[in-house]
């Protein structure tokens, strides 16, 4: 993999959508420890400036790609050329399509019902094995009561 470039204090891997999908699928197939893949956009960079936990998580990521065009432009202004955007939604779709029924995936996030519909669509379209799904709204007290 080409060396990462520094964009506004964050290392961004200089890879294409297809290369990112290759990395993701290889990581899933390896069965090793989990790793964080960050699809970096300007909003996340701004948030990380005042959120130390987020900043630390971003810097500990196993792979960081340029989700937003603002990240690509900022890299260019710093003298680096990235091959283009790697939008998270496109990356997931590409990986699900290529992985097909060989992938077992848990869908997490969004409003109630959205992750469930996305999981059903992935199963219907690509045969993805669905491990489960959950919306992205968490309430520590309610979640503790459910456990």
Question: pLDDT tens, position by position, for the chain (147 residues)?
Answer: 778 999 999 999 999 999 999 999 999 888 877 889 999 999 999 999 999 999 999 999 999 999 989 999 999 999 999 999 999 999 999 999 999 999 999 999 999 999 999 999 999 999 999 999 999 998 877 767 776
Q: Which residue has the tokens 């996340």?
A: 44
Rounded Cα distance, 126 and 140, in Å: 34
Return the pLDDT at 77.
Answer: 95
Q: Are 94 and 125 in contact (CB under 8 A)?
A: no
pLDDT at residue 53, as a whole number: 97
pLDDT at residue 33 in the model: 79
Q: With left for phi above 0 and alpha for psi between -120 and 50, is residue 8 left, alpha or beta?
A: left
- 66 contacts 40 by C-beta, under 8 angstroms: yes
Q: Which residue intervals of 9-126 are DSSP H helices?
A: 17-30, 42-48, 52-59, 69-77, 88-99, 114-126
Neighbours of 59 (CB within 10 A): 13
pLDDT at 147: 65
- Identify which of 146, 103, 93, 94 has the alpha carbon closest to the alpha carbon of residue 127: 103
Q: Would you state the torsion angle of the CA atoms of residues 19, 129, 93, 11, taken in this order, to the nearest 10 degrees?
A: -50
Quick one: tokens of 49?
Answer: 């400036």
The pLDDT of residue 1 is: 75
pLDDT of residue 54: 97
pTM: 0.87
């Amino acid at each position: 993999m080409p060396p990462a470039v520094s964009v506004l204090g964050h290392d961004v891997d200089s890879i294409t959508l297809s290369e990112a999908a290759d990395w993701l699928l290889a990581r899933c197939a390896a069965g090793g420890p989990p790793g964080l893949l960050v699809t970096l956009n300007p909003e996340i960079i701004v948030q990380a400036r005042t959120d130390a936990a987020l900043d630390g998580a971003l810097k500990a990521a196993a792979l960081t790609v340029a989700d937003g065009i603002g990240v690509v432009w900022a890299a260019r202004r710093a003298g680096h050329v990235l091959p283009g955007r790697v939008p998270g939604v496109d990356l997931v779709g590409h990986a699900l399509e290529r992985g097909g029924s060989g992938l077992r995936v848990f869908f997490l996030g969004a409003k109630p019902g959205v992750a469930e519909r996305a999981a059903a669509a992935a199963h219907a379209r690509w045969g993805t094995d669905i491990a489960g799904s959950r919306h992205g709204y968490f309430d520590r007290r309610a979640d503790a009561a459910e456990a």
